[in-house]
Homo-oligomer: A and B are copies of this chain.
Amino acid sequence: MGNPFEAPLVNEAVGQHIRNWRSYYEAKLGFRNHWYPTFNSDELLEGKPLPFELGGEKLLLNRIDGKVFAMKDQCLHRGVPLSRKVETYTKDTITCWYHGWTYRWSDGLLCDILTDPGSKMIGTRSNKVYPVQEAKGLVFVFLGDIDPPPLSTDLPPGFTDANRHVRVTRRKVEANWRIGAENGFDTTHIFIHKNSRLITGNQTMLPLGFAPKPNSDEPLFKIVKNENGQNGIYDMLAERGVPHFEGKVHGEVVCRAIHGGDKHIAGEISLWMPGVLKVDPFPDPAMIHFEWYVPCDENSHWYIHCATKVIEGPEGDETFGREYEALWKDLYVYGFNDDDIWAREATQPFYQDDWGWLDEQLFEADACIMAWRTLATETNRGIQTKGRPASTASGKSAAVST
């Protein structure tokens, strides 16, 4: 099949896409030098390391005196996963089960080798470590090599609002992260939700689709670059377009949107780098929905689903927790968003070998998706690749000789 982006061009329009969105097309494993959510904070217990795959890299996370650290889950020596059999002899280190190579969580330094305390490798080699920050009950990891910019530059606006309580459900979806992001931000994908039990269950309504206003020059999206360090794009179709509550074939109405009630939801939809959606409000006028599409490997992503609500007072979290368990899990987390999961997994095969990016036929309502690709191409801090870290091997054998 070859590399589609090197294939002879079908026509100029496709060639334009390849030129405009090339780095997005290449970001199969996500963008490098960005912050991504991983575990929920309460999953990481003191001194109990857990592995997490992020952008094709295997990480090991651990909490020490309350603070979370992340290290590459691979011994420098023979490449085995440290997580295969965790051995932690001191609070601040992890020891490889195979030959006793011992790394400091804080900086990855190879500080001891239990099987050979005199090795010249000690103190001169380091494992890769990753900056970590926690926010709103999520553990964020900086997947990159540069000095990390503030976490806030990779968060959607409002996520860290005071008194905003967050409930997270993380699922692994068997589709590339970009299929996830484009499904979530896709203006007309709401067609798949037309029979969702959320509509009647929460007295709200959803149109079947949106269309641009005829003969209007208003743009259907608004790009925000580097506003408070954040880069994102707003879908303006809900505001400037025409919602359709009836679906027609051959001019006849063949299906109608369910009118569950008059609650207004999903008024403002935006997508932020490096891949997080904000739907405000959703699924209730009092709530905001956020969801991250975190690259796991080339063919799967972590779908990190955040239900959020501002609640004042000391018992806010417990109150929201009960509501989440009793109501929202059924109507919203599973009842509504399960449909997105199977839609993404059904889309994946077409794009899996990359040819789908050239063979797809986008239509007017996809303007937001096309603008997102441009934004992502222009504002990412790097492409995550699968390349072996050959540079870390430099001088690797200096201490030994045959």
Residue from the set A78, A208, A394 with the largest chain B CB neighbour count within 10 Å: A78
In the bound complex, residues from chain B placing their C-beta under 8 Å from that of A247 are: 89, 100, 114-115
A351 close to chain B: CB less than 8 A = yes
Whether B11 lies near A249 (C-beta < 8 A) is no
C-alpha gap A217/B3 in the complex (Å): 53
- B-contact bits for A329-355, CB 8 A (1 contact / 0 none): 000000000000011001101110001
A10 close to chain B: CB less than 8 A = yes
A74 close to chain B: CB less than 8 A = yes
Whether B396 lies near A364 (C-beta < 8 A) is no
- B-contact bits for A376-402, CB 8 A (1 contact / 0 none): 000000000010111111111111111
Whether A115 lies near B212 (C-beta < 8 A) is no
Whether A97 lies near B365 (C-beta < 8 A) is no
Given contacts A10-B391, A99-B191, A359-B388, whether A367 and B402 have CB atoms under 8 Å apart is yes
Given contacts A117-B244, A249-B114, A350-B78, whether A393 and B14 have CB atoms under 8 Å apart is yes
Whether B115 lies near A77 (C-beta < 8 A) is no
Whether A361 lies near B99 (C-beta < 8 A) is no
In the bound complex, residues from chain B placing their C-beta under 8 Å from that of A386 are: 1
A286 close to chain B: CB less than 8 A = no
Given contacts A79-B347, A115-B191, A391-B10, whether A100 and B208 have CB atoms under 8 Å apart is yes
Whether A209 lies near B115 (C-beta < 8 A) is yes
A128 close to chain B: CB less than 8 A = no
In the bound complex, residues from chain B placing their C-beta under 8 Å from that of A97 are: 191-192
Report the interface size for chain A: residues with CB under 8 A from the other chain.
96
Whether A365 lies near B116 (C-beta < 8 A) is yes
Whether B209 lies near A99 (C-beta < 8 A) is yes
A189 close to chain B: CB less than 8 A = yes
Whether B114 lies near A255 (C-beta < 8 A) is yes
- A156-205 residues at the B interface, CB under 8 angstroms: 186, 188-192
Given contacts A189-B98, A359-B388, A388-B1, whether A366 and B400 have CB atoms under 8 Å apart is yes
In the bound complex, residues from chain B placing their C-beta under 8 Å from that of A208 are: 100, 114-115
13 A-B pairs with CB atoms under 8 Å apart are: A11-B393, A89-B249, A93-B250, A98-B189, A98-B346, A98-B347, A111-B249, A113-B363, A119-B365, A358-B393, A360-B396, A367-B401, A371-B402
